[in-house]
Amino acid sequence: MSSEELELIYRRYLATLNEHRTHDLSEFVQDRLTYNGQEWSRQEYEGLLTEDVKTFPDLAYPIGLLVVQGPHVACRIDFDCTPVREWLGFQPNGKRISFSEHVFYEFHQGRIQHVWSLLDHQAISRQMTS
């Protein structure tokens, strides 16, 4: 698969997440995957993303930077959203917060096989404790 095709798949995956359709990602995600080195089922991965929408009802995935070189995708996602419940041990304070995720994916046959994600915890902590 070309990098151009992989980019189109990834953009469709994010469009699906932007519509909060987190319950059937089988088009985009393998049955089994690893998330930060841990073995997960797709259902567990969908569960994480579904919980994120419950935490942030206004959740969207705006691309800040996108780098594609098959089979890998790297994306900086610039979140700007409002938590309505406890998250990462912090209580919501009614304020919108802005933070980035730097996430790498490895695709296999057009579907996500591995995910490595880092969030900007310092930015999150700073905004949720102010």
Q: Is 126 near its own copies (CB under 8 A)?
A: no
From the list 62, 73, 67, 60, the residue with the least C-alpha distance to 113 is 73
Question: For residues 4 and 31, which CB has a smaller minimum distance to its own copies in the complex?
Answer: 4
Question: For residues 43 and 98, which CB has a smaller minimum distance to its own copies in the complex?
Answer: 98
Question: For residues 3 and 55, which CB has a smaller minimum distance to its own copies in the complex?
Answer: 3
Among positions 39-78, residues that touch its own copies (CB under 8 A) are 64-65, 67-69, 72-74, 76
Q: How far apart are CA 16 and CA 109, in angstroms?
A: 19
Q: Are 30 and 45 a contacting pair, CB within 8 Å?
A: no
Instruction: Reduce the DSSP state of residue 46 to 3 states and report it.
Output: helix
Instruction: Reduce the DSSP state of residue 18 to 3 states and report it.
Output: helix
Q: Is 122 near its own copies (CB under 8 A)?
A: yes
Q: Is 1 near its own copies (CB under 8 A)?
A: no
The pair of three-digit structure tokens given for residue 56, joined into one six-digit string:
């942030």
List of residues contacting its own copies (CB under 8 A): 3, 64-65, 67-69, 72-74, 76, 100, 102-104, 106, 116, 118-122
